[in-house]
Amino acid sequence: MLLLLRHGAAADGSPDAERPLTKKGRDQARAAGAALRVLGISVDACLSSPKVRALDTAQLACAELNGPEPQTAEELAGGDFDGEALAADRGTTVLLVGHDPDFSNAVRNLTGARAQVKKGGIAAIDRGELKALLRPAELAAIAAGS
């Protein structure tokens, strides 16, 4: 399964690659990881955009999952990417952390579905099928056990 986690809310400013997460963004990242844990989803590998807001999201989410240490992948820094190629040979479930519109485009390219991945949200794709599209509020509710 391929999990696409869009980075959490980030501060405005430049340079773009150095924009940090806000408190809300950090909370979103932790909730995403905690929700995956509550759902019984373990991650074999995590690849992240090297941009600060994405890498911080990956680190916070993986810490909640007791998961692997995120590795950076330049392909996730912006533009189209091949999620299946990035995930190949990395395990059964791979978490990718990056940006939009890249992730929304990836959902369309991999599944044919038109969906928008919100900041701090997750799209789950398995064998070309969109299995779940979770918004940050839904992830927070799952993480809280609601």
**Beta bridge partner(s), residue 95:** 3, 46
The DSSP-derived string for 60-88 is: HHHHHHT-PPPEE-GGGSSS---HHHHHT
End-to-end CA distance of the chain: 25
Q: Can you give the pLDDT at residue 67? A: 84
Considering the segment(s) 2-143 as one domain, its CATH architecture is 3-Layer(aba) Sandwich (3.40)
**What is the average per-residue pLDDT within 22-47?**
97
Question: What are the residue ranges spanned by the domains of the chain?
Answer: 2-143
**Cα(104)–Cα(15) distance, integer angstroms:** 24
Query: What amino acid occupies position 40?
Result: G
- Coarse DSSP helix, strand, coil percentages of the chain, rounded to the nearest 5 percent: 40, 20, 40
The model's pLDDT over 95-133, given as tens digits with 9 standing for 90+, comes to 999 999 999 999 999 999 999 999 999 999 999 999 999
Listing DSSP states for 44-57 in one string gives SEEEE-SSHHHHHH
Q: pLDDT for 10-29, tens place per residue?
A: 999 999 999 999 999 999 99
* Angle in degrees, CA 104, 5, 129, rounded to 5: 55
